[in-house]
Every structure is written in C-alpha cells, then in structure tokens.
Amino acid sequence: MKPYEEIGKTMKELRLSRNLTQAELAKELGISAATLQRWEKGKIKRAKSLYIVNFADYFNVTLYYILGV
C-alpha cells in the first residue's frame, strides 16, 4: 500500500483530471471540502471506508488503484 501522502496525491490528481474544485467534488461525494482537503494532504487515517469507495466509484477506478496495491 502507498503511504498516505501518495494516496492523497492520487486522489488530487483524479480530481484535477476532471477540473473539479475541492468544494465541487466534496458536494458530489457528500463530504465537507475540509475533509477532502485532509485526504489530499494524506491525512486519511480515519476516513470512513464507504466514502473512499464512493470516491473510487465516482472516478471509475478501483480501490486498489487509489491505495496502490
């Protein structure tokens, strides 16, 4: 598995690939922009797995892709 910072970098790259702001994507995922910002900075140690799965589904990638496994 990638270090948390690398996971956050992957998440940010996916968001930017669709030209979305953190606020726009957070609204789509039903989370706060602050939460998404923490994830992108690699502070996802306590993220609910459902939200990470929703993130992967939104971008049509696997959880394995995000986690780097």
Q: 68 CB contacts (<8 Å, ≥6 apart)?
A: 1, 2, 6, 7, 10
Distance, in Å, from the CA atom of 66 to the CA atom of 1, rounded to the nearest integer, reads 9
Weakly modelled stretches of the chain, pLDDT under 70: 1, 46-47
What is the number of structural domains in the chain? 1
Q: Are 63 and 56 in contact (CB under 8 A)?
A: yes
Distance, in Å, from the CA atom of 66 to the CA atom of 7, rounded to the nearest integer, reads 6
What's the confidence (pLDDT) of residue 43?
84
Residue 23 structural domain: 4-67
Distance, in Å, from the CA atom of 27 to the CA atom of 18, rounded to the nearest integer, reads 15
Assigned token pair, 47: 């993220």
